């Protein structure tokens, strides 16, 4: 792609600036170019503040999707979103951010909330984030399952910050933390496809976490995503090609993992068969609604056995290892099992439920 654009418009109005950006990215594979980080920030700011027509907003996001966002563009988009976001900074060590796709899952069990509660019970502070009923998938999102479990998902920033500090767990809802992005829900419905916003939602790190686990569907996108993630303030990052393209790894088959330790990236296949786990079958992994995922999660957190328990232990163990609370994945799984067997995971859920009940009492 060309690395130099045409002359910028003399009229610096929002309308003309967006027309300029659309021309730069939309002239075909030979004539188009990637925007600079500052240009990408400006373009998305125009969209977030709704200074341009909806046709320009949708056109820009779709053309970017078909061109393919560069790492610099993703960083510019993140800059724009974070400028209007409500951020927190919990006083905890080694916070883990869970980068789950905001539009959820349609076909599979949602394991991440249960795994994250186990991780919090094991002493690793965790923050999750998301929103309900987002396009294009309109699937079951992590917040839906947490809500069905009785965990508060409506906390204001100061409440979430205190929850992370006092319980080791918090959930940031987009409507509360990033209202400018939430206001684009109808626009995202209209364009019908995922855009760069979907990618940034998983990695923008609004709580200043040191660690992040991220789900990714399309591997060719991984390199750009990783380049952007490296500049989000994380110390260590794990990108997994999990169940239905999310951050939950399966226990019945190997899964590709990309692990960045702050200096270099290591790629490997995680083979659950190495860890004496009861493999979850396709039937075990089948999802229904949020209530069903919550029901399965509750059975596991209260001491249930079987493939679902091992699926949660695997995913919790991976997170414990990522957050450097275990020297290996195997050791992380062992800690997750101990946390489940001791009843600490069930106690952590009850602590979070009691906090939610007290809020509305």
State the average pLDDT for the chain. Answer: 94
Query: What pLDDT, on the 0 to 100 scale, is given for residue 313?
Result: 98
| pLDDT tens track for 281-313 | 999 999 999 999 999 999 999 999 999 999 999
CA angle 127–200–102, rounded 5-degree value? 60
Whether the predicted pLDDT of 28 surpasses 90: no
Place of tokens 């539009």: 103
Query: What pLDDT, on the 0 to 100 scale, is given for residue 5?
Result: 53
Query: What pLDDT, on the 0 to 100 scale, is given for residue 307?
Result: 97
* Domain at 14-83: CATH architecture: Up-down Bundle (1.20)
Q: At what angle do helices 290-301 and 112-121 cross, to 10 degrees?
A: 30
| pLDDT tens track for 168-204 | 999 999 999 999 999 999 999 999 999 999 999 999 9
| pLDDT tens track for 141-171 | 999 999 999 999 999 999 999 999 999 999 9
Q: Report DSSP letters for 79-143, one per residue.
A: HHHHHTS-----S-SS-EEEE--TT-BSSB---HHHHHHHHHHTT--EEEEE-SS-TTT--B-HH
Dihedral in degrees, nearest 10, Cα atoms 254, 258, 259, 263: 150
Which residue intervals of the chain bear CATH 1.20.970.10? 14-83
Which residue intervals of the chain bear CATH 3.40.1030.10? 96-354
Query: What pLDDT, on the 0 to 100 scale, is given for residue 222?
Result: 80
Residue 38 tokens read as 């500052």
Dihedral in degrees, nearest 10, Cα atoms 307, 311, 313, 315: 180
Whether the predicted pLDDT of 326 surpasses 70: yes
Q: Taking residues 252-257, what's their average pLDDT? A: 94
Whether the predicted pLDDT of 209 surpasses 60: yes
> Which residue, among 297, 359, 288, has the nearest Cα to 118 in the 3D structure?
297
Domain 96-354 annotated CATH 3.40.1030.10: yes
Whether the predicted pLDDT of 2 surpasses 80: no
Place of tokens 């990618």: 199
56 within 8 A of 183, measured Cβ to Cβ: no
Dihedral in degrees, nearest 10, Cα atoms 229, 232, 237, 238: -40
Query: What pLDDT, on the 0 to 100 scale, is given for residue 1?
Result: 44
Query: What pLDDT, on the 0 to 100 scale, is given for residue 125?
Result: 98
C-alpha–C-alpha distance, residues 217 and 316, integer Å: 20
Q: Taking residues 7-35, what's their average pLDDT? A: 91
14 within 8 A of 42, measured Cβ to Cβ: no
* Contacts (Cβ under 8 Å, ≥6 apart) of 208: 87, 88, 89, 90, 95, 233
Q: Report DSSP letters for 150-211, one per residue.
A: T------HHHHHHHHHHHSEEEEEHHHH-HHHHTTHHHHHHH-S--HHHHHHHH--TT--SE
Whether the predicted pLDDT of 70 surpasses 70: yes
Q: Which residue has the higher pLDDT, 150 or 3?
A: 150
C-alpha–C-alpha distance, residues 88 and 42, integer Å: 24
Whether the predicted pLDDT of 4 surpasses 90: no
């Amino acid at each position: 792609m060309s690395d130099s654009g045409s002359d910028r418009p003399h009229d610096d109005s929002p309308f003309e600036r967006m027309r300029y950006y659309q021309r730069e990215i939309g002239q075909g594979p030979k004539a188009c170019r990637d925007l600079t980080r500052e240009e990408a920030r400006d373009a998305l700011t125009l969209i977030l503040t709704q200074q341009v027509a909806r046709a320009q907003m949708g056109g820009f996001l779709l053309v970017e999707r078909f061109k393919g966002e560069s790492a610099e563009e993703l960083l510019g988009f993140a800059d724009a979103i974070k400028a209007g976001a409500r951020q927190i900074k919990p006083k905890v060590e080694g916070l883990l951010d869970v980068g789950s796709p905001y539009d959820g899952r349609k076909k599979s069990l949602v394991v991440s909330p249960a795994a994250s509660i186990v991780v919090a019970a094991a002493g690793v502070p965790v923050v999750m984030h998301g929103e309900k009923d987002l396009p294009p998938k309109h699937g079951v999102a992590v917040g839906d399952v947490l809500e069905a479990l009785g965990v508060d998902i409506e906390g204001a920033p100061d409440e979430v910050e205190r929850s992370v500090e006092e319980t080791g767990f918090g959930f940031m809802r987009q409507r509360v933390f990033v209202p400018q992005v939430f206001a684009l829900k109808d626009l995202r419905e209209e364009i019908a496809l995922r855009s760069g916003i979907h990618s940034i939602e998983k990695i923008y790190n609004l709580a200043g976490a040191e660690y992040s686990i991220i789900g990714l569907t399309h591997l060719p996108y991984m390199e750009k995503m990783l380049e952007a993630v490296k500049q989000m303030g994380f110390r260590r990052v794990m990108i997994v090609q999990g169940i239905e393209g999310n951050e939950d790894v399966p226990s019945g088959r190997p899964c590709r993992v990309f692990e960045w330790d702050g200096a270099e990236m290591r790629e490997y296949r995680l083979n659950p068969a190495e860890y004496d786990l009861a493999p979850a079958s396709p039937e075990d992994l089948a999802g229904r609604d949020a209530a069903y995922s919550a029901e399965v999660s509750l059975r596991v957190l209260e001491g249930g056995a079987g493939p679902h328990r091992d699926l949660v232990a695997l995913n919790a163990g991976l997170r414990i290892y990522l957050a450097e609370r275990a020297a290996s994945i195997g050791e992380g799984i062992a800690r997750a099992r101990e946390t489940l067997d001791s009843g600490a995971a069930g106690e952590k859920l009850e602590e979070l439920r009691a906090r939610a009940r007290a809020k509305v009492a």
